[in-house]
Amino acid sequence: MAEVIEISRIALHDQVVARLRTMLVEGRIPPGAKLNERELSEQLRVSRTPLREAIKLLAAEGLVDLLPNRGAVAVRLTERDVLDTFEVLAELEGLSGALAAVRITERQLEEMRALQYEMMACFTRHDLSGYYRLNATIHSLINDAAGNPVLSGTYRSINARVQSLRFRTNQNEAKWKRAIQDHEDMVEAMSARDADAMRTILVRHIRNKSDAVLDLMRAGALAPIAHHGI
């Protein structure tokens, strides 16, 4: 019985973390907004204990800032923060791609192709939320395929802080199509096990993301996405 209770508690924790992470990434909790525990407890239908645990984990990931006298606040980056973060992220993604091209297994490559197919279907349906989740999974797969735990840990901690900004860049149709082309190029380069091409594509891809984010910030166009449900 104790084991069943423990598994149930862990499952609840994971669900709360996943749902709260989605709300932050997709802008339903906008950058700079305070995380209201009472409202979130009601929305997510959980007590404050698992909610607080989830907030602490997301703070460790970089999606939430824990500020004195203010509590938990959705991370808000300045233009300088964005430039600095994406500058490092581009090189980490490029290194991941180059290593993955050499080390990826056939099973991982098949999974990447399948994810790309599903992601294209989301693009066709204009399902931005589904597209982003698959997109993030592909980038994580490439990072895992690089086979370097130090690189993976560094990449994930830095990428977490700009997840919500990366999500919003695909609201622009032209930029979204350019990102799709980059992903098609990635699959082709990975299939050819071309390390140089993977590095070039991923560095370009992330620099384009940085430019798109900065354009949105300067235009004041980083509004939350409208959704039905959580």
> Residue 56: pLDDT above 80?
yes
pLDDT, one tens digit per residue, over 112-126 is 999 999 999 999 998
Closest of 59, 145, 61 to residue 102, by C-alpha = 145
CB atoms within 10 A of CB 175: 17
| Token pair recorded at residue 154 | 């560094």
Q: What is the pLDDT of residue 182?
A: 95
pLDDT, one tens digit per residue, over 128-169 is 889 989 999 999 999 999 999 999 999 988 888 887 788 777
Of 184 and 169, the one with more pLDDT: 184
Write the CB contacts of 20 (distance below 8 Å, at least 6 apart in sequence). 40, 44, 51, 54, 55, 58
Q: What is the pLDDT of residue 63?
A: 84
8/141 Cα distance (integer angstroms):
28
Write the CB contacts of 146 (distance below 8 Å, at least 6 apart in sequence). 95, 96, 97, 99, 100, 103, 152
33/48 Cα distance (integer angstroms):
18
Q: What is the pLDDT of residue 225?
A: 42
pLDDT, one tens digit per residue, over 72-109 is 998 888 889 899 999 999 999 999 999 999 999 999 99
Question: What phi and psi, each to the nearest 5 degrees, are found at residue 65?
Answer: -105, 135
Same fold, 2-74 and 79-218: no
Distances (CA, A) of 175 to 13, 75, 160, 200, 215: 36, 24, 21, 18, 11
130 CB-contact burial (10 Å; exposed 0-12 / middle 13-18 / buried 19+): middle
157/215 Cα distance (integer angstroms):
24
Distances (CA, A) of 227 to 22, 132, 153, 205, 216: 11, 14, 31, 27, 20
> Residue 50: pLDDT above 70?
yes
Q: What is the pLDDT of residue 23?
A: 87
Q: What is the pLDDT of residue 222?
A: 60
Q: Which amino acid is at 20?
A: L
Interval 188-194 mean pLDDT: 97
Return the domain boundaries, the chain.
2-74, 79-218
pLDDT above 70 coverage of the chain, percent: 90
120/203 Cα distance (integer angstroms):
21
Classify 2-74 by CATH class: mainly alpha
Rounded to two decimals, the pTM is: 0.75
Fold of 79-218: Four Helix Bundle (Hemerythrin (Met), subunit A) (1.20.120)
